[in-house]
A and B are shown apart, each in its own frame.
Chain A
């Protein structure tokens, strides 16, 4: 069957067809072409002609003309619309016209940078000109670094390297900084939250260094479709950008399907597993030789799906390699191999986390199955965009899981389709982030009195650093007065730099098969955990916590493991509070300690619980900000301890799912904890904290709009069709101790809050 036939058969298939909540057809688009800009260097024109490109798409020409005239721009067009030419053309043109010109390319990951390098290299080779392009990152050999610094026309790197490897050593990069014409920031929508707030400050530092060397580069940013590309890019580069979005690239017809797995038990609100449904769908496509990508929202799900799908080719020699898993923890070489296999068509199915959502070149696939809502509208479009051909039909299917957010989206697909993508939020003036980068900036060049860096708090912060003996103020300048190299201690990403490596000891010759970050390690790599890698199961035999190594051995078992995380929360200080007779809401500083205490063994396919074990690992601590709300003490008497506990748990689940809507953040960026009787407030309390050391302002925002939050929680619970709570609203029944009328109890709690008139006391 071809694609159209498969879609027809799915539509007519009762089991599948009736569970499609929306069938959207996105018509094909004609290309909009323009002639080459007349000012563009002839050698570029010739090289493009040689590749069969006789004209540019409209957006490519606009980008070129704006950039060349010195305007900072942000290019917003869909996946596979020829975005790279938007920055290749002006940069190559500048270097060809003046060989002293330099450009800096920033990509969010090393993998993307490598990918770009290859593409750029092809263009340059074709032109037969001497434009030196180098990657500069942690993998660049020491011996090659000098050449990159001196001779590289185009330096391709990532924000982390700019932050700790380039800016603090700017005197070694005089050639680059004196002649910097362009800075390219690709995938700028990726820089949200903490990462984006850090990047904005790294760019502030970059501006400072450029000023010192007398250059003023033009910024070219590229973004996937988000609601506020102009706002985000302007905030990141610290100047107003102009939007280029006159997309002229053609695209074939495409279908977008919303699929809700059928209900198995209406009372309990249990639906068929989204993983199994995704597997079923993927099987239809792959068996008909349609190259398919499946996105799953966690590493475990990715590995599970890959294992299931490999069975399509089971027993056929060498064919199991046609299905591959792909995720962050894989080593770079393995990832390159998979990307190549996808481009060449050798790999017929790939299961990935959002790692492949970024612009890594894997060619255009025909079918995309998104197993579970990726958490944001922008991500969904980005993932769906992986399937799409210039001509011919493609399809993307969103398979909902039973979580509230998924159920909300799948039963209101028009909400999804009408809503513009999310706003990508950053806060470059977040005090801790700003402070970190002022340290780095002071290390790079002394601040002068009257200098500006971000908000007008600079003098105060410098003074503070002087008191902390980090700076010395002499004759109108602030000098770095410490032995420390500050950039090393500051990571631009939320997680720490300390990764755990995973070592396979099945064979006498041990080998490293992957790595995982410090925060996830206790969850994934505790002893006896089943670690799934490339569809193979490994059991963790030993976790060396101090050396950050996990030793695993290949096993073949019919279960996987799921660890329980116990979280303890201590209030350190209250910044804002607002109390009435019945309730109180607060915003303040907290210390979170997280501890993995036990794990469950869960049988494959049936997902039943078949055993458990203890975990003995140290606590991880985090200092952050939280918003919390207290309920009247009497509730415990009225409802009984058990029921109150159930109600608080249910409410916490709902809040945890609603809050990201208002905050425009990932579900994982915040966490909810409840105490039946909090040590600090002495009352039933629900805390929502920023899952980021130091916090990035989420909890403060929740403190302000808390009524909206509770209103949405109320809607979600009321509109859910279940009788007494289900995984799609307050949580799975198995989480609770069996209280009756739980939904009513939770609604009662919400009503207490909504009824209260409160005012803020600072």
Chain B
């Protein structure tokens, strides 16, 4: 029996219609549609584009040249390393044949951006077919090795491991030197998780930078479009993919500048979201002074924007550093606040902290008990939302009662 016939029967897959390859017209190849050149090296050839943007070029309202103004304080905060040099920084984004990890996924387009004397260079490495991967990686490897740092969006878990796999699969290694890696997705999440619908690059670009892309190709279509291109050699859609990738890299640069401005502006910022985000970033860097500064500013500015997480975080720092005066005034504020119906947790937390402080630090069990009782009375009046806190508080109460009696 014919293997083909057998397979057709076993494989329950939709039969793929053979595309009309008759129409393949050579003048739609990528080098005819996109300005660029075919590069040759000892591993073969690939297609490369290069655009030079003047430093005054505005993207998302940010002049690209402002990258040069990012100071060591900002780098320390954003990357944990003050010695980064914007001129040795590589902005990188890949377009791939799929989203799964594993060695069967290939980066067919790698875009990089970097500063030169008087311009921002945006270079794209594109393989016109699978066999061009080795030559593409060979040249990409050379530029990667010289980079002091790499800036990506989700590169830590996607782009860089994928490229690393590609280097190994093509027997080049190590693919990278050991660049500092700045993954802007991780920073974006600290600032905007829960604020915007998601933290995808296009969302942030729209919401934060105000850039609207026209005729952009959605990321999820890109792999299939690339396969279609391989079949037809019609690069019309690939042109869109290249410009999609180019925009992504410009966004990376503009976003980095925006982050650095937030850092610079931290003493004057009036934005709760910014201050909270910065405080998380400083916490990650274990710079608790700056973290506290940001949070204190945030609480002073808008004390009544309920934010349980921020209260908890600043309380932890206060307690750790023994600044109970500051902590107490904050806790008292939330504990005594009347209209806390929507944020009972905040009040419970503050009240419990006060009771703990009175019990352990002041050894004033009676006052601690009074606070707990007050809290219990309050919670009992909130039949629906108050119940879940009661068991914990009852335990505290009976313990305090014992202590009071013993004294």
Q: Chain A interface (Cβ within 8 Å of chain B)?
A: 168-172, 174, 431-432, 435, 442-446, 457, 460-461, 464, 467-469, 472, 474-475, 477, 479-487, 572-573, 575, 589, 623, 694
Top 8 nearest A-B pairs (CB, nearest first) are A443-B104, A483-B98, A485-B100, A171-B165, A479-B130, A168-B102, A480-B104, A171-B168
Shortest distance from the beta carbon of B106 to any chain A beta carbon, whole Å? 8
Most chain A Cβ neighbours within 10 Å, of B7, B12, B16, B161: B7
A589 (CB) vs chain B CBs: closest residue: B9
Cα of A573 to Cα of B2 in the assembled complex, Å: 14
CB-defined interface of B12-23 with A at 8 Å, one 1/0 digit per residue? 110010000000
Shortest distance from the beta carbon of B238 to any chain A beta carbon, whole Å? 15
Stretch in B176-184, B223-231, B314-322, B330-338 touching the partner: B223-231
Q: Is the CB of A445 within 8 A of B131?
A: no
Q: Is the CB of B131 within 8 A of A475?
A: yes
Shortest distance from the beta carbon of B223 to any chain A beta carbon, whole Å? 5
| Known contacts A432-B10, A482-B98, A485-B98; 13 further A-B pairs (Cβ under 8 A) | A168-B104, A169-B102, A170-B103, A431-B10, A444-B104, A464-B7, A468-B13, A469-B231, A472-B130, A472-B227, A479-B106, A481-B227, A483-B99
Is B1's CB within 8 Å of the partner chain A? Answer: yes
Is B4's CB within 8 Å of the partner chain A? Answer: yes
Q: Is the CB of A623 within 8 A of B12?
A: yes
Cα of A130 to Cα of B10 in the assembled complex, Å: 50
Name 28 interchain pairs, CB-CB below 8 A, sorted by A: A169-B101, A169-B102, A171-B165, A172-B161, A431-B7, A431-B10, A443-B103, A444-B103, A444-B104, A446-B130, A457-B3, A460-B4, A468-B13, A468-B16, A472-B129, A472-B130, A472-B230, A474-B129, A474-B130, A477-B130, A479-B106, A480-B104, A481-B97, A482-B97, A485-B98, A486-B104, A589-B9, A623-B10
Known pairs A172-B165, A575-B1; A443 contacts B102 (CB<8 A) = yes
Is B11's CB within 8 Å of the partner chain A? Answer: yes
B167 (CB) vs chain A CBs: closest residue: A171
Partner of A464 from the list B3, B97, B98 (CB cut-off 8 Å) is: B3
Q: Is the CB of A171 within 8 A of B7?
A: no
Which residues of B sit under 8 angstroms from A444, Cβ to Cβ?
102-104
Shortest distance from the beta carbon of A621 to any chain B beta carbon, whole Å? 10
Which residues of A sit under 8 angstroms from B101, Cβ to Cβ?
169
Q: Is the CB of B102 within 8 A of A485?
A: yes
Is B6's CB within 8 Å of the partner chain A? Answer: yes
Which residues of A sit under 8 angstroms from B224, Cβ to Cβ?
483
Q: Is the CB of A431 within 8 A of B129?
A: no
Cα of A169 to Cα of B169 in the assembled complex, Å: 10
A442 (CB) vs chain B CBs: closest residue: B104
Most chain A Cβ neighbours within 10 Å, of B100, B104, B161, B227: B104
Which residues of B sit under 8 angstroms from A432, Cβ to Cβ?
10-11
Which residues of A sit under 8 angstroms from B148, Cβ to Cβ?
none
Residues of chain B in range 83-142 having any CB-CB distance to chain A below 8 Å: 97-104, 106, 129-131
B9 (CB) vs chain A CBs: closest residue: A589
Shortest distance from the beta carbon of A220 to any chain B beta carbon, whole Å? 27
Is B367's CB within 8 Å of the partner chain A? Answer: no
Which residues of A sit under 8 angstroms from B7, Cβ to Cβ?
431, 435, 461, 464
Shortest distance from the beta carbon of A600 to any chain B beta carbon, whole Å? 35
Which residues of A sit under 8 angstroms from B99, Cβ to Cβ?
483
Q: Is the CB of A572 within 8 A of B227?
A: no
Q: Chain B interface (Cβ within 8 Å of chain A)?
A: 1, 3-4, 6-7, 9-13, 16, 97-104, 106, 129-131, 161, 164-165, 168-169, 223-224, 227, 230-231
Which residues of A sit under 8 angstroms from B97, Cβ to Cβ?
480-483
Which residues of B sit under 8 angstroms from A623, Cβ to Cβ?
10, 12
A573 (CB) vs chain B CBs: closest residue: B9
Which residues of B sit under 8 angstroms from A475, Cβ to Cβ?
131
Known pairs A431-B6, A457-B3, A589-B9; A481 contacts B102 (CB<8 A) = no
Which residues of B sit under 8 angstroms from A435, Cβ to Cβ?
7, 10-11
Which residues of A sit under 8 angstroms from B16, Cβ to Cβ?
467-469
Shortest distance from the beta carbon of A637 to any chain B beta carbon, whole Å? 37
Shortest distance from the beta carbon of A620 to any chain B beta carbon, whole Å? 15
Cα of A191 to Cα of B190 in the assembled complex, Å: 49
Cα of A217 to Cα of B13 in the assembled complex, Å: 37
A762 (CB) vs chain B CBs: closest residue: B1
A213 (CB) vs chain B CBs: closest residue: B168
Which residues of B sit under 8 angstroms from A486, Cβ to Cβ?
104
Cα of A472 to Cα of B169 in the assembled complex, Å: 17
Which residues of A sit under 8 angstroms from B227, Cβ to Cβ?
469, 472, 481-482
Cα of A752 to Cα of B224 in the assembled complex, Å: 58
Shortest distance from the beta carbon of B277 to any chain A beta carbon, whole Å? 25
Shortest distance from the beta carbon of A149 to any chain B beta carbon, whole Å? 12
A475 (CB) vs chain B CBs: closest residue: B131
Cα of A483 to Cα of B10 in the assembled complex, Å: 21
Shortest distance from the beta carbon of B219 to any chain A beta carbon, whole Å? 12
B164 (CB) vs chain A CBs: closest residue: A171
Q: Is the CB of A171 within 8 A of B103?
A: yes
Which residues of B sit under 8 angstroms from A477, Cβ to Cβ?
130-131
B98 (CB) vs chain A CBs: closest residue: A483
Which residues of B sit under 8 angstroms from A443, Cβ to Cβ?
102-104
Which residues of A sit under 8 angstroms from B129, Cβ to Cβ?
472, 474
Cα of A169 to Cα of B103 in the assembled complex, Å: 6
Shortest distance from the beta carbon of A617 to any chain B beta carbon, whole Å? 22
Cα of A472 to Cα of B133 in the assembled complex, Å: 14
Which residues of B sit under 8 angstroms from A172, Cβ to Cβ?
161, 165
A468 (CB) vs chain B CBs: closest residue: B16
Shortest distance from the beta carbon of A455 to any chain B beta carbon, whole Å? 10
Which residues of B sit under 8 angstroms from A694, Cβ to Cβ?
10
Q: Is the CB of A445 within 8 A of B9?
A: no
B168 (CB) vs chain A CBs: closest residue: A171
Which residues of A sit under 8 angstroms from B4, Cβ to Cβ?
460, 464
Shortest distance from the beta carbon of B348 to any chain A beta carbon, whole Å? 24
Which residues of A sit under 8 angstroms from B102, Cβ to Cβ?
168-169, 443-444, 485, 487
Cα of A486 to Cα of B98 in the assembled complex, Å: 12
Most chain B Cβ neighbours within 10 Å, of A442, A443, A461, A572: A443
A440 (CB) vs chain B CBs: closest residue: B104
Cα of A484 to Cα of B16 in the assembled complex, Å: 15
Q: Is the CB of B3 within 8 A of A485?
A: no
Partner of A168 from the list B3, B103, B161, B223 (CB cut-off 8 Å) is: B103
Shortest distance from the beta carbon of A697 to any chain B beta carbon, whole Å? 13
Which residues of A sit under 8 angstroms from B13, Cβ to Cβ?
468
Which residues of A sit under 8 angstroms from B1, Cβ to Cβ?
575
Which residues of B sit under 8 angstroms from A589, Cβ to Cβ?
9
Cα of A344 to Cα of B159 in the assembled complex, Å: 52
B230 (CB) vs chain A CBs: closest residue: A472
Cα of A623 to Cα of B11 in the assembled complex, Å: 10
B165 (CB) vs chain A CBs: closest residue: A171
Cα of A457 to Cα of B2 in the assembled complex, Å: 11
Cα of A575 to Cα of B99 in the assembled complex, Å: 40
Which residues of B sit under 8 angstroms from A483, Cβ to Cβ?
97-100, 223-224
Cα of A170 to Cα of B224 in the assembled complex, Å: 25
Shortest distance from the beta carbon of A459 to any chain B beta carbon, whole Å? 11
Cα of A461 to Cα of B239 in the assembled complex, Å: 34
B16 (CB) vs chain A CBs: closest residue: A469
Which residues of A sit under 8 angstroms from B130, Cβ to Cβ?
446, 472, 474, 477, 479, 481
Partner of B3 from the list A169, A461, A474, A480 (CB cut-off 8 Å) is: A461
Shortest distance from the beta carbon of A211 to any chain B beta carbon, whole Å? 13
Shortest distance from the beta carbon of B17 to any chain A beta carbon, whole Å? 10
Cα of A174 to Cα of B3 in the assembled complex, Å: 36
Cα of A475 to Cα of B102 in the assembled complex, Å: 23
Partner of B169 from the list A171, A457, A469, A482 (CB cut-off 8 Å) is: A171
Cα of A274 to Cα of B296 in the assembled complex, Å: 77
